[in-house]
Amino acid sequence: MVSDRSKCVACLLLCWLSATLTLGSQDVQDVQDPIDYGLPDHTEPVSYALSMRPVINPVNGTYTFNGSVEVVISAVRYTTVVVLNSKDLIVSSVSGFEDVRTGRHAVAVEGFECDALREQLIVTLARSLVPTRFYRFTVQFSGTLRNDFTGFHKYFYDSTNGSRWIALTQFKPVYARRAFPCYDELKFKTPFKISIARQIKHFSLSNMPLILTEINPRSGWAWDHFETTKPIPTFLVAFMVSDFDRNALNDESIAMYTRKEFIENTAYMMKKVPQLLESVEKFTEIQYMLPKLDLVGVPLLDAYNMENWGLNSYEEFYVTLSNNSEMEDKISGIMTVLHAILRQWFGNMVTTPTWDFSWLNEGMCNYLNYYLADTIEPGWNLHERFIENVHQRALTWDQYDDTHPLTLPRLNSEEIIDGFDVITIDKSAALFRMLKHAVGESYFKMSLNKYLDDFAYAEALPRDLWSAFDNMLYDDDVEIGGGNVTVEAYMRTWTEQAGYPLIDVQPAADGSGAVIVTQEHFSLSVPRQTNGTKWFVGLTYTTERTGDFDQVTPTVWLKPEDEQTIVPMAVDSGWTIFNIQSTGFYRVNYDQKNWKLLLIQLITEPDRIHVLNRAQIVDDAYHLSMANVVPYDYYISLLEYLLMEDHVVPWNTAVNGLSSTLDGLRRYPAEHRKFEEYANGLAEILYDKLAANKMGDESTKIGRSRLLAWTCKLGNSRCRTSALKHFDAWADGHGIPPETEEAAFCEGMKKGDFTVWSKMYKFYTAVRSPSRKKIALRALACAEDVETLFKRLRLLRLDGTGPAGTNNFRTVFENVATTSQGVRALADFLLRELDVILALDDGHRLATFAYSVLASKVAMDDEIRTMNEIRAAARSTRLKSAFDQIHERIESNSKWIERDLKKIIRAIGK
């Protein structure tokens, strides 16, 4: 037997050596047989008893934890090897394996070692375990409280009482193994008995209510013991230690925790939480399944929003709102809290067996978040925001040949972590909205309820969800797709295939008024790879004659095996619009006559077309012209109708297309100036509407803010004059309207010196609102010399300290890359600091994210050259592959603008 301290040290050294060699070995593994990163199926967990003791002493720099985990396992087959997941832990001992039924015949441990590449602890036994028997063993371990906000980690923050700290967990998706040895895979759901040690001056929380506290006054320490959880996967295990204050409802079942100076500010959200919880209970017809729900506000931006069962953590700001908070912040707060509550049902109570299907719960909660919040706050028009923020965004991400299907095998922890992208989160949400309209609202709700009932506290696959739909429809003799089409067959074409279709609508040659509908894979890649991918497409449509924009359930279906489908219409139907309210995840093209009729309608009386279809027509026309499907004349002509448009959604859709075109044309200065002049003409129209307050009510302030900022950025003189006036007032300590902040701050930065930069930076570091922080970042990017600003203000820091540490890396990149000078500064930064970024625990993902953000913005030769240098500097095959894939979009965009340059300029008549 080898279980002494020297063995532990050897194990630690082996882990460290393996970790340092992982990068180089990965290159070798890429050309050999793929590694199996999964746990073997020899054993499976039955229960855990976990004890954790965090030790934080800033005086001597001790930031560690130690613990023990007693695991009961079931032997599935004869085996002398037991494998658990473990990463960055020092394992000091593994006890003998005691037979649970007899309490004797302990199987001795010969030794244990770690495999850093596979993130596993491998325990070798003296003799074989016997199938169907239960065994109990205990692992003693220790580790360092992490700085990267994963696993069991610490966080220091400034308080009115000085510097304070908290220690808390973030185990999603595969970070539990960084805190304790365990079976860290989704398919294993087991009960946990958790005990946490703390200093007497602190308190602890976990998934379940506290049942016993043992206090040792001499040592100043106490042990908190919590009720045993329901069976849960390891990523939902949660605990924390802090000195936060508590605000609870009368029945004590719902409580909020945050630092003492902000606890009174939790009153607004405390009133909202029961309403949000009740809305989910009413929708699912399943009562909240735990005795308590704790909501913890963490004083850190962009690091927290975790839906652990019974213990949800959020950015502090979102649980400390008030009636006087800005509209955008209240919307974000409600939706952030509601999303985590929804996860208690979708993802916690019912879990997928692997992360290959992470889109199922991510997308469902994303869609239901908008759907339920829209019923709670109908005045916020969140169904419109869904189209802008989710649907159109997903279409844009999914329109290249290098995209991926929703269901995608995740072979290791890195691929699991990287898998939470726009396709996984937003496309899936758009597809669930599409499904709701395909089956109808009542069947959508009933089917989800059946699914939750059938698989409560168990694992379920997408096919199980589709089966719930098919059974509900079958029981009531309801068919979709014109018959002989199941929900499973329908949805598999969308979840197991990448991309989406272009629906082409052409008049029948016989003059009957009917239209012929076909589909093909839509792609903006240049050159485009042709493929025969097809989908089950539910078609909704209306005509000028009927004008029915409320019929959102498909009445005609286009099937993968169909070459075409014929839709009968009257000869005098007028214009035709397919995809009512953008319920389907596809784009639509028409014949020249129909495009012309739509243009006439929009110019003369746009309100006869639903606002979401007005946005859809503009969005489709832009992307179809980029794809060389329709002439740019169609798109540019459609933009003329904006003179009649008083709603922010179509305007924001148009601005997105105009901004992308301006980004691409930066490569050609003369043509860029011409298109900028054209865009300025639209900006003049837009500013008149904004100045006259014609564009909507309170719920549209957010959209108006974005539009005003765009108008000023284009150089509209009246907008800039007004914005500078507001900025000067702000600089003198006066308040300004929230919707003017972004425009005012940007204009102020353009004319400002280092004193002005410093003032804005101080505002950025001090303001609590995440939305206003992002406005401040975008304003800093408006400075003429962002590179100097970066150096003097150290806007991006990689040492984990300061307000823009690595946790805020994404926010900085996304918001600074909004100007050409910001793009250059960020590209230079990424090239210069790539090795430093990659040395971080989350380095690969951060570098890939940054490269992706820049890829959609770069256009100039020097920018593309820098991106090539960054790509060449990637050392690992994994990173090279990621950069190469993203770089295809740079090349595709360059070829697109080169191909269409003259067409665009000709279309605007310059």
Residues that constitute the known binding site: 339, 362
> Among residues 416, 419, 408, 411, which one has the least CA distance to residue 29?
411
Q: Is the peptide bond before 291 cis (omega within 30 degrees of 0)?
A: no
Which residue carries 């410093």 as its tokens? 758
Binding residues for Zn(2+): 339, 362
> Among residues 102, 95, 105, which one has the least CA distance to residue 71?
95
Cβ count within 10 A of residue 60: 6
| Bridge pairing between strands 537-539 and 556-558 | antiparallel
Cα–Cα distances in Å, from 790 out to 741, 781, 797? 22, 10, 9
Per DSSP, the residues of 210-238 read EEEEEEETTTTEEEEEEPPPPSB-GGG--
Strand order in the sheet with 254-258: 245-248, 254-258, 293-298, 311-315, 305-306
Buried b (16+ CB within 10 A) or exposed e, 597-611: bbbebbeeebeebbb
What SS3 state is found at 521? strand
Contacts 24+ apart (CB under 8 A), 635-642: 635/907, 636/907, 636/908, 637/599, 638/598, 638/599, 638/602, 639/682, 640/599, 640/603, 641/599, 641/602, 641/603, 641/606, 642/682, 642/685, 642/686
> Among residues 555, 552, 550, which one has the least CA distance to residue 481?
555
**Which amino acid is residue 392, in one-letter code?**
Q
> Among residues 306, 289, 374, which one has the least CA distance to residue 334?
374
**Which amino acid is residue 292, in one-letter code?**
K
Per DSSP, the residues of 761-781 read HHHHHH---HHHHHHHHHHHT
Helix, strand, coil percentages in the chain from 3-state DSSP, rounded to 5? 45, 20, 30
Interatomic CA distance for residues 171 and 173, integer angstroms? 6
Two structure tokens written together for 717: 């003189």
- Asked if 150 and 317 count as a contact pair (C-beta separation under 8 A), the reply is no
Interatomic CA distance for residues 236 and 171, integer angstroms? 7
- Asked if 699 and 327 count as a contact pair (C-beta separation under 8 A), the reply is yes
